[in-house]
Amino acid sequence: MAKNVQDKSIDPATRAMLLEADRAGIETAWDRFEKQQPQCGFGMLGVCCRNCNMGPCRIDPFGEGPDRGVCGATADIIVARNLLRMIAAGAAAHSDHARDAVMTFKEMAEGKARGYQIKDGAKLAALAAEYGISTEDRSPEEVALDLANLLLSEFGKQTGPIQFTRRAPAKRQKVWEAAGIEPRGIDREIVECMHRTHMGVDNDPVHLLLHGLRTSIADGWGGSMIATEVQDVLFGTPTPTTSESNLGVLKADEVNIIVHGHEPILSEMIVAAAEDPEMIALAEKMGAKGISVSGICCTGNEVLMRHGVPTAGNFLQQELAVITGAVEAMVVDVQCVMPALGNLAGCYHTKFISTSPKAEFPGALRMEFREDEALEIAKDIVRAAVENYPNRDRARVNIPKEKTGCMVGFSAEAILGALGGTPKPLIDAIVSGAVRGVGAVVGCNNPKVQHDFGHINLVRELIKNDVLVVTTGCNAIACAKAGLLQPEAAKEAGPGLQAVCEALAVPPVLHMGSCVDISRILVLAAAIADHLGVDISDLPAAGAAPEWMSEKAVSIGAYVIASGVYTVLGTVPPVLGSPEVTDVLTKGTEGVVGASFAVEPDPFKAAKLMIEKIAEKREGLGLGA
């Protein structure tokens, strides 16, 4: 009997592939999630500790069992330590991504990474000025080398500040300084997280959580921002472009290569290699009409916004892309790549190609990527995919028809450029009430939530109430599939937002990039706050992560509230086992950084919370609710 897929996803392409998986006897993330039920209640509440070998210890949330671990740690301590470790892992993931980007940037400047070049000289010059680097009578490569070395020093600093934190409004910097959470160096804060959470070190929940905020700021205003800026210099700062999204972008008569992961260092070269005449000729020799590259997750967002490369889907669609039977190669680097892909690819002709020296996967074909031979290795990967095309079993090809047009690539520079180089037109629209405020909606998919349901319904409620939405990551892909990234979607917006969007010929939901590109949202928020002479926490803005699942999302949420933006989470974090930690995160941080978390799984209620917060901030600025 076919499974009921209606409650798994709102996306018809996803539902079709889930039915195909059921017919083929193929397991997906949704099946594995069901097999895990009931999930560990102690883990869900965050009241279990494995930080030493006297345990594992767990606290009985009902007060009938142990009320502290062997060392004496209470639920409050254990939950805070566990959350701090999640922030450390998330910040490490973003910041290590940034380090790799800077290392490639440096090797390019030294002439060692031959396939890369400076694509945005203006941004290079702006960054050089920000770091006090002379550009007079110097080549771009000389300037880039100095910049790369200074950016690398941000990771190992022992005393701050991290340069990009100076982009925050002066009032926000004073908030961080007063709270003792201004980051000193990216790696230092991450390492200190691990030290503090070792047995017998930091055992005060509030003290632990404050360091979590400090570490997250080192991510958002440090590592993530560095990644975004360097990638823009190397690959070009995104400007609005159009493309398509969903599994229907796969081609029945072309070689299909999917790039999946998070680092455009690889995917940029795959795109270039796939356009090489030699590779195209080989594809035609193999019987294909051409080579089609598409993306999954954030590396998909990277090539989407810079090259218009279509996106095949977001996180929970990675297995479904293989199940179409039409993918010659799934090429991955790091982060959010399911280890289940290896076994799955073995059921089809798909080559699952692992490229990062940091990431090995069971069942993967290893083709390690090196920047000094970037284009040559990319061609080898593309060649492997092309030569796999004759192995496609056409009887098993089942590509959903669904695909939707989208307008993407709204970097902070592009948004300000569309407004005449200043945030004043947007501010004027907010002051007039045509636009009530801004909602930043980001984050992952999670099989605990009906796929894309939280993303799409939350965003639709916001724009219906004249809230302009900026989006990144898997939410951005969900919005693309739902047609919300098209200018025509303005008809779904309230009358004020609709008029603004129609005047500018832009969608009511602006795609700003990948997960690290939430840093673009911070830059835009800082520009608006500076123009008004206020702090970010004063702005009529709110954030949300309706379907989050990763440790990176925990770090993101922490740096968003640390920057002063109220944030609603759609899946419950593992903190409810500690009343103190829950209270600090939902109330206590308001008095420290001017923002806090809320948890609301219902996207309609979550939107209401955000709209109410935006109204409150409007009143605070004297704009009326």
Write the pLDDT tens digit of every residue in 535-594.
999 999 999 999 999 999 999 999 999 999 999 999 999 999 999 999 999 999 999 999
368: Cβ–Cβ under 8 A, 6 or more apart, which residues? 355, 356, 357, 377
Q: Does domain 247-396 have CATH number 3.40.50.2030?
A: yes
C-alpha–C-alpha distance, residues 372 and 265, integer Å: 12
Q: Where are the domains of the chain?
A: 12-58, 75-235, 247-396, 407-620
Residue 624 has a pLDDT of: 80
Q: Does the structure show a pLDDT above 70 at 2?
A: no
How high is the pLDDT of residue 1?
35
pLDDT digits (tens, 9 = 90+) for 416-425: 998 988 999 9
Confidence of residue 4 (pLDDT cuts 50, 70, 90): confident
pLDDT in tens, 445-469: 999 999 999 999 999 999 999 999 9
Question: Is 247-396 the same fold as 75-235?
Answer: no
- Cis? peptide before 161, omega within 30° of 0: yes
Least confident interval from 60-64, 142-146, 536-540: 60-64
Quick one: fold of 407-620?
Answer: Rossmann fold (3.40.50)
* Calpha distance 67→46 (Å, rounded): 14
The number of residues making up the chain comes to 625
- Per-position DSSP letters for 66-129, written without gaps between them: -SS-TT---HHHHHHHHHHHHHHHHHHHHHHHHHHHHHHHHHHHTT--TT---S-HHHHHHHHH
Using an 8 Å Cβ cutoff, are 273 and 110 in contact? no
> CA–CA separation, 44 vs 571, rounded Å?
11
Helices (H), 465-550: 473-481, 495-504, 518-532
**Average pLDDT value for residue range 94-116:** 97
Q: What is the architecture of the domain spanning 75-235?
A: Up-down Bundle (1.20)
For residue 437, count other CB atoms closer than 10 A to its CB: 22
| Percent over 70 (pLDDT), the chain | 100
Q: What is the pLDDT of residue 65?
A: 85
Determine the average pLDDT of the residues in 423-450.
96
Q: Positive or negative, the Cα torsion across 504, 505, 510, 512?
A: negative
57 three-state secondary structure: strand
- CA 386, CA 285: separation in Å to the nearest integer? 9
Cβ neighbours of 548 (radius 10 Å): 26
Q: What is the mean pLDDT of the chain?
A: 97
Kindly state the helix (H) or strand (E) to which residue 618 belongs, with its residue range. Answer: helix 603-620
Q: How far apart, in Å, are the Cα atoms of 337 and each of 259, 315, 432?
A: 11, 8, 45
Contact 566, 203 (CB under 8 A): no
Q: For the chain, how far is it from start to end, CA to CA, in angstroms?
A: 53
pLDDT digits (tens, 9 = 90+) for 168-182: 999 999 999 999 999
Say how far apart CA 175 and CA 197 lie, in whole Å.
Answer: 25
For 395-459, the three-class secondary structure string (H helix, E strand, C coil) is HHCCCCCCCEEEEECCCHHHHHHHCCCCCHHHHHHHHHCCCCEEEEECCCCCCCCCECHHHHHHH
pLDDT given for residue 228 in this prediction? 98
One-letter amino acid identity for 417? G
Asked if 352 and 345 touch (Cβ cutoff 8 Å), the reply is yes
287: CB partners within 8 A, 6+ apart: 389, 390
Q: Can you tell me the mean pLDDT for 218-246? A: 98
| Rg, Å, the chain Cα set | 24
Cα–Cα distance list, 273 to 115, 141, 170, 267, 578 (Å) = 11, 24, 45, 10, 52
pLDDT attached to residue 61: 86
Separation CA 299–CA 479 (nearest Å)? 17
Q: How far apart are CA 550 and CA 446, in angstroms?
A: 9
What is the amino acid identity at position 380?
A: D
Is the pLDDT at 3 greater than 80, yes or no? no
Q: pLDDT band at residue 29, thresholds of 50, 70 and 90? A: very high
pLDDT at 356 over 70: yes
Q: What residues contact residue 474 under an 8 Å CB cut-off, 6+ apart?
A: 297, 314, 315, 443, 444, 445, 455, 547
d(Cα 559, Cα 91) in Å, to the nearest integer?
10
Beta-strand relationship, 351-354 and 48-49: unpaired
**Among 167, 219, 232, residue whose Cα is nearest residue 525:** 167
The total of other beta-carbon atoms located within 10 Å of residue 571's CB is 18
CA pair distance 61, 573, nearest whole angstrom: 16
The SS3 assignment for 473 reads helix
**Residues 6+ positions from 421 with CB-CB distance below 8 Å:** none
Q: What's the pLDDT at 517?
A: 97
Report which of 85, 90, 58 is spatially closest to residue 202, judged by C-alpha positions. Answer: 85
**Mean local confidence (pLDDT), 317-345:** 97
With a CB cutoff of 8 Å and minimum separation 6, the contacts of 174 are: none
Q: Which neighbouring-strand residues pair with 467?
A: 437
Q: Classify 304 as helix, strand or coil.
A: helix
Antiparallel, parallel or unpaired: β 597-599 and 567-569: parallel
Q: What would the two tokens of residue 244 be?
A: 């398509």
Give me the mean pLDDT over the 331-341 stretch.
97
Give the strand pairing for 255-260 and 291-296.
parallel
Q: Are 407 and 506 in contact (CB under 8 A)?
A: yes
The residue among 176, 184, 179 whose CA lies nearest residue 206 is: 179
